[in-house]
Amino acid sequence: MALPPLLHLQGIALTFGGTPLIENAELSVSPGERACLVGRNGSGKSTLLKIAAGLIEADRGKRFVQPGATVRYLAQEPDLSAFATTMAFVEAGLGPGDDPYRARYLLEQLGLTGEENPSQLSGGEARRAALAQALAPAPDILLLDEPTNHLDLPAIEWLESELKSLRSAMVLISHDRRFLESLSQATIWLDRGITRRMERGFAHFEAWRDEVLEQEELERHKLDRKLVAEADWLRYGVTARRKRNVRRLANLHAMRQEARDHKRSIGTVSMSLTEAEQSGTLVVEAEKISKTYDGRPIVADLSLRILRGDRLGIIGPNGAGKTTLINLLTGVIQPDQGRVRLGSNLQMVTLDQRRMSLDPNATVAETLTGGRGDTVIIGGQAKHVIGYMKDFLFSPEQARTPVGVLSGGERNRLMLARALAQPSNLLVLDEPTNDLDLETLDLLQEMITDYAGTVILVSHDRDFLDRTVSSVLVSEGEGRWLEYAGGYTDMVAQRGQGVQARTVEKEAKPKSGEKTTPAQATPAAKRKLNFNEQHDLKTLPKRMSEIEAKIAKLQDVLADPNLYSRDPGLFEKASAALSAQQDELAAAEDRWLELEMLKEELGV
């Protein structure tokens, strides 16, 4: 006999700005049940979870919570401003009978001390504190909205284990496939304002979704409907993409086997012969490179060769130096020791963690074409902007839509489309999966697997790594990096364990009966960021965005092919200004990177 639900939403409807967002949604959670809530960005998942938490009142429908049942909700953007420390914030969520020691345990497991000032927390640190507050009371119902956002691999795997150990019922929203597959027992699909429920975990969702959509399409034909609208193509196109990706995954396995065979044979070939055979195929060659920041090794004596067509994933905990390593391999910064040799005729496109800025007033088509004409040059060939938009799941009607009104997922797709439209043979992606919905992740996976050049990417998404890369470079601590053939799962099988959290050395405590020296009795005060460093760390991201916007405007001016003949003075002035702004941006990025590394090292 099924247990009565702890939480039940029935017939929920909500309208925003005259447009129905949710029309007829249901959500039922029984004791101990773990369900995932899935749907495209903008479908109303977060809104439905807020209704379940009692934070938003629906226009229509019923919300029932069993009397006495405790509900805890994790928001995507937690607010800690009313608390003096992270410990005070977490303890505020405890009830009279809750264990106060669990608050400290959770903070420590999430890499926090409890003494942090909330006003100085990064987005990831605030997220960890909010997770600790939600988990500390062991509530009857946990409502978690993107709990893995801004977490590194060790933290994600710890969270999985912790949630599995709880007896709480849960509703999870996440773009992390592996996380959902590991935890969910039921799947609730919010699509076009209504919910469908499957009594199986997320691992079975995509096949089930495809069956539902194919059945809907069949019904349309039975009713002699006209051609499916472009808006429906956007939905049904996902089904075909998934099936193509199954074949791509098989091809990737073959590529990984080739990588294993290649790595085994490469050591038997002399350097001179290898260079002769690889003429025109070498992309990056690092020879015993090392890089240190403030005495801490980020990269130590690394030798690595990346060949044309390789897909290299770089993984490690936060603070391991993944972004620094990418910058070393691509020549953005120079190593302290060793050398990096880049191949000839490289054309590199980079999508970093901060992403490219988008003009909110420009239309989707103008963003992709630069405001010139109605074609995009892809692979040396002109393609109509509407056709290119459809590749990224945009409908033709959105061509004239201002960027400012797009959803978060749509803006992410647009940034990817603009980056991938640039001619390149080396694609460098730093955390490309951040804040992407599942459909956009499918699209990005397709773009990477179809890409003819070389890919270097940093990601904490285990499933995405398994689907895209042919080898991974893993941080082993103390600046040591080791390459494994295959994806994340292959690496774990070879290594015997996943990625471990980065540890910070602590003062050694004397053993019982051991005399302490004056130095041991009075350790030096812990180094902290000074006022200027804190100010730069806080203001540099905005400053870099402003500089990038200026660079974009200057590049638009210089893009006019008739500018030099029409106004040589303006051309020279704009060229000089562009060079100055690019130098200023490089200096700001170096300073920001230096401070971020220092902040992580100090554990601030």
Collapsed DSSP state (helix, strand, coil) of residue 476: strand
Number of Cβ within a 10 Å radius of residue 453 = 17
Say if residue 278 is in the same domain as residue 327: yes
* 399 shares a domain with 490: yes
The DSSP 8-state label assigned to residue 399 in this structure reads: G
Known binding-site positions for ATP: 39-46, 316-323
Kindly state whether residues 70 and 171 are assigned to the same domain: yes
Domain CATH number, residue 421: 3.40.50.300
Residues 196 and 270 in one domain: no
74 closest CA partner among 130, 132, 157: 130
In a domain, 29, yes or no: yes
* Cα 205 to Cα 246: distance, rounded to the nearest angstrom: 15
Residues 186 and 93 both lie in one domain: yes
With helix as H, strand as E and coil as C, how does 139-196 read?
CCEEEEECCCCCCCHHHHHHHHHHHHHCCCEEEEECCCHHHHHHHCCEEEEEECCEEE
The residue with tokens 């942090």 is 116
Encode pLDDT of 16-54 as tens digits: 766 788 999 999 999 999 999 998 877 889 899 999 999
* Positions of E strands within 449-534: 454-458, 471-477, 480-485
How far is 143 from 35, CA to CA, in rounded Å?
10
Q: Are strands 282-293 and 169-173 parallel, antiparallel or unpaired?
A: unpaired
538 & 486 share domain:
no
Asked whether residue 558 carries a pLDDT value surpassing 50, the answer given is: yes
Radius of gyration of the chain (CA): 26
Per-residue 3-state assignment (H helix, E strand, C coil) for 259-294? HHHHHHHHCCCCHHHHHHHCCCCEEEEEEEEEEEEC
Nearest CA-CA partner of 480 in 312, 327, 304: 304
Residues 6+ apart with CB under 8 A from 292: 298, 336, 479
pLDDT at 185 over 90: yes
Could you give the number of structural domains in the chain? Answer: 3
For tokens 């002109």, name the residue: 382
From 202, 217, 252, the end of a domain falls on 202
Range of the domain at 589: 529-602
- Is 505 part of any domain? no
Q: d(Cα 256, Cα 507) in Å, to the nearest integer? A: 44
The CA-based diameter of the chain, rounded to the nearest angstrom, is 90
Higher per-residue confidence, 586 vs 288: 288
- Residue 409's pLDDT band, with cuts at 50, 70 and 90, is low
In 176-322, where do the E strands start and end? 186-191, 194-198, 282-293, 296-307, 311-315
pLDDT more than 70, % of the chain: 81
pLDDT score of 379: 63
Burial bucket for residue 223 (CB in 10 Å: 0-12, 13-18, 19+): exposed
Q: Based on the fold, state whether residues 165 and 311 are members of the same structural domain.
A: no
Of 64, 406, 42, whose CA–CA distance to 190 is shortest? 42
Q: Do 397 and 539 share a domain, yes or no?
A: no
φ, ψ of residue 37 in degrees (nearest 5): -110, 115
Binding-site sequence positions = 39-46, 316-323
- Give the C-alpha separation, 471 to 29, whole Å: 41
Range 481-485 contact pairs with CB under 8 angstroms and sequence separation of 24 or more = 481/299, 481/302, 481/304, 481/316, 481/325, 483/263, 483/304, 483/312, 485/256, 485/259, 485/260, 485/263
Q: Give the tens place of pLDDT for each residue, 470-508.
A: 999 999 888 999 999 899 999 988 888 777 765 544 333
Given 202, 225, 242, the domain boundary residue is 202
End-to-end CA distance of the chain: 51
End-of-domain residue from the set 187, 202, 217: 202
521 located within any domain: no
User: Do 409 and 440 touch, CB atoms closer than 8 A?
Assistant: yes
Same domain, 427 and 563: no
Residue 594 lies in a domain: yes
List the 169-173 sheet strands across, edge first.
Answer: 60-65, 7-16, 19-29, 194-198, 186-191, 34-38, 169-173, 141-145, 71-74
Q: Is pLDDT of 232 > 60?
A: no
Provide DSSP, 324-335.
HHHHHHTTSS--
Place of tokens 């088509």: 365
Here the tokens at position 344 are: 């000839």
d(CA 290, CA 313) in angstroms, rounded, equals: 19
Give the model's confidence band at 469: pLDDT under 50 very low, under 70 low, under 90 confident, else very high: very high
Query: Is residue 558 located within the same domain as residue 475?
Result: no
Give residue 246's identity as a one-letter amino acid code.
Answer: V
Quote the pTM value.
0.67
Instruction: State the Cα–Cα distance between residues 114 and 108, nearest whole angstrom.
Output: 8
Judge if 451 and 314 occupy the same domain.
Answer: yes
Residue 64 has pLDDT above 90, yes or no: yes
The amino acid at 421 = A
Question: What's the distance, CA 226 to chain centroid?
Answer: 40
- CB neighbour list of residue 392: distance below 8 Å, 6 or more residues apart: 413, 414, 416, 417, 443
The reported pLDDT for the residue numbered 222 is 60
- Joined tokens for residue 538: 């806080």
* In a shared domain, residues 472 and 539: no
**Per-residue pLDDT band at 519 (split at 50, 70, 90):** very low
Runs of H (alpha helix) within 19-74: 45-53
266 lies in some domain: yes
Flag whether 207 is in a domain: no
Mean pLDDT comparison of 202-211, 216-225, 584-593, highest-scoring range? 202-211
With respect to residue 402, please indicate whether it lies within any of the assigned structural domains. yes
What CATH number should be reported for the domain holding residue 562?
Answer: 1.10.287.380
- The verdict on residue 235 lying in a domain is no
Per-position b or e across 61-71, b if 16+ CB within 10 A of its CB: bebebeeeeeb
> pLDDT digit string (tens) for 358-381?
788 889 999 888 888 888 877 667
Assign 281 a pLDDT band (cuts: 50, 70, 90): confident
Which tokens belong to 451?
């890409």
Nearest to 164 by CA among 185, 137, 139, 183: 183
Contacts of 91 (CB under 8 A, 6+ apart): 100, 103, 136
